[in-house]
Amino acid sequence: MTVHNLYIFDRNGSCLFYSEWNRKKQAGISKDEEFKLMYGMLFSIRSFVSKMSPQDMKDGFLSFQTSKYRLHYYETASGLKFVMNTDLSVSNARDTLQHIYSNLYVDLVVKNPLVPSCQPLDSELFGTRLDSFIRSLPYYSPRAA
Amino acid sequence: MVIFSVYVVNKAGGLIYQYDNYVPRTEVEKTFSYPLDLVLKHHDEKVIVSFGQRDGIKVGHAVLSINGADVLGKNTADGKDILEYLKDPGNYPVSIRFGRARLSSNEKLMLASMFHSLFAIGSQLSPEVGSSGIEMLETDVFKLHCFQTLTGIKFIVLADPRQSGIDALLKKIYEIYSDFALKNPFYSLEMPIRCELFDQNLKSSLEVAEKAGNFGAGS
């Protein structure tokens, strides 16, 4: 039961924040390329899902799972994208991501007049609060299964 | 609890089989007077709503028919350009039917190849060692299940999110593929599947899966 990593993208595709807790395998490409690939994959998945969907959707793409991990996705109305990779035991992390957005991101980053928008997040307070929040999650355990 | 469609993709990413079991058609027909309060635009040989929402007509819906006559791409049934037709106040009041645009077979081919690549990227970006590609993709309206065989063929099923037994259904479709497509001496590998027995057996196994909600040993 664990959380592997978390990405936050803005509406233009630049990665504002990335943090990892239990990642066992790196992607084999540089971090910048990985962020671009991740954003590109999510953009394509959203476009794919809107075309394939048999009916009109409200929330759109929620998550996907492979044999080893699950990717959870949450997008705000302002185009901010929260992406979290966990192991397979976590079925729904939408509330967690929504909490990260409304209680951590909005309070500590948006309301902070000194944080520039569209640039990678430098806020130490956000980093530590997020880290303690993730570690306090019921499905997080430091030694992954 | 319903299964929407089945796609089979070969190892190069090309679509070799597609079957739509159930496609819900939400269409709205309304009479409009000049001026039209929805903003329409051309997109991909269709006319779609780009701004404006009323009475079940949403952004992204396409113009399906005007005054009862089905449209042909960007033109009305008579061959006139739709946007020009709707700019002329003399043509009002007009009755237009809007709805989700049907996917053309070209679009389905492109979407299947798109998924083939996304499947591979899902495996590359994995934070864990030895991950497969995307096996299940969830949205609020449908769930997409994918089973990749050892030979690289992908069986993709789009179903209702609450439908269970899809894993067993995917294995069953693989069985049907090997029995009625691969063992057919006139079928060439990686080519589009045109085998009647494959179609028939696929349809009946979809019916069984939908009715049972639980096929064989369960999901």
Phi/psi for A42 (5° steps) reads -65, -40
Longest dimension (CA), chain B: 66
Cβ neighbourhood burial of B117 (10 Å; 0-12, 13-18, 19+): middle
pTM: 0.90
From CA A105, how far away is CA A116, in angstroms rounded? Answer: 13
Q: What contacts A143, CB < 8 A, 6 or more positions away?
A: none
pLDDT in tens, B88-99: 888 888 899 998
**How much is the pLDDT for B158?**
95
**How much is the pLDDT for B213?**
66
- Whether the per-residue pLDDT at B20 is higher than 80: the answer is yes
| Chain A hits for B6, Cβ within 8 Å | none
* Test mutation, B123, B125, B144, B163, chain A, max A CBs within 10 A: B125
Q: What contacts B211, CB < 8 A, 6 or more positions away?
A: none
Domain B27-99 is of which CATH architecture? Roll (2.30)
Q: What contacts B60, CB < 8 A, 6 or more positions away?
A: A50, A56, B48, B49, B100
Question: Do A66 and B158 count as a contact with CB atoms less than 8 A apart?
Answer: no
The number of helices, as runs of H, and strands, as runs of E, in chain B is: 4, 11
ipTM exceeds 0.85: yes
- Whether the per-residue pLDDT at B217 is higher than 70: the answer is no
Any idea which of A41-55, A87-101, B52-66, B135-149 has the lowest mean pLDDT? Answer: B52-66
Question: Residues A63, A83: contact at Cβ < 8 Å?
Answer: no
- At B77, the pLDDT band (50, 70, 90 cuts) reads confident
- Whether the per-residue pLDDT at B84 is higher than 50: the answer is yes
From CA A13, how far away is CA B60, in angstroms rounded? Answer: 23
Average pLDDT over residues B186-214: 91
Domains of chain B, by residue range, sit at: 3-23+104-212, 27-99
* A:B CB pairs within 8 Å: 118
A145 close contact with B: CB closer than 8 A = no
Q: What percent of chain B has pLDDT over 70?
A: 97
Residue from B199, B198, B181 nearest B190 by CA: B181
pLDDT in tens, B29-47: 888 888 888 899 888 888 8
- Whether the per-residue pLDDT at B209 is higher than 50: the answer is yes
Taking the CA of residue B41 and the nearest CA in chain A, the distance in Å comes to 17
Q: What is the pLDDT along chain A (145 residues), one digit of tens a residue?
A: 789 999 999 999 999 999 999 889 888 899 999 999 999 999 999 999 999 998 888 889 999 999 999 999 999 999 999 999 999 999 889 999 999 999 999 999 989 888 887 788 888 899 999 999 999 988 887 654 4
- The H-or-E segment that residue B83 falls in is helix B82-87
Q: What contacts A64, CB < 8 A, 6 or more positions away?
A: A45, A70, A71, B122, B134, B136, B137, B138
Instruction: Kindly state the DSSP code that residue B9 receives in the 8-state scheme.
Output: E
Question: Residues A91, A1: contact at Cβ < 8 Å?
Answer: no
Report the residue from A24, A48, A52 with minimal CB separation from B127.
A24
Degrees (nearest 5) of the Cα angle A126, A13, A104? 20
- The class that CATH gives domain B3-23+104-212 is alpha beta
- Whether the per-residue pLDDT at B215 is higher than 70: the answer is no
- Whether the per-residue pLDDT at B134 is higher than 60: the answer is yes
A19 close contact with B: CB closer than 8 A = no
| Chain A hits for B129, Cβ within 8 Å | 24-25, 68
Any idea which of A38-52, A114-128, B4-18, B150-164 has the lowest mean pLDDT? Answer: A114-128
**How much is the pLDDT for B102?**
85
A48 close contact with B: CB closer than 8 A = yes
**How much is the pLDDT for B56?**
84
Report the residue from A4, A38, A52 with minimal CB separation from B158.
A52
Question: Residues B95, B5: contact at Cβ < 8 Å?
Answer: no
Average pLDDT over residues B19-34: 88
From CA B216, how far away is CA B204, in angstroms rounded? Answer: 14
Closest chain B residue to A27 measured between Cα atoms? Answer: B125
| Chain B hits for A4, Cβ within 8 Å | 127-128
Q: What contacts A49, CB < 8 A, 6 or more positions away?
A: A57, A60, A61, B137, B139
From CA A7, how far away is CA B216, in angstroms rounded? Answer: 39
Domains of chain A, each with CATH number or no CATH: 3-136 (3.30.450.70)
From CA B217, how far away is CA A125, in angstroms rounded? Answer: 50
Secondary structure (3-state) at B187: coil
pLDDT in tens, A27-49: 889 999 999 999 999 999 999 99
- Whether the per-residue pLDDT at B6 is higher than 60: the answer is yes
Q: What contacts B156, CB < 8 A, 6 or more positions away?
A: B6, B7, B8, B9, B112, B115, B144, B145, B146
**How much is the pLDDT for B55?**
83
Average pLDDT over residues B133-161: 95
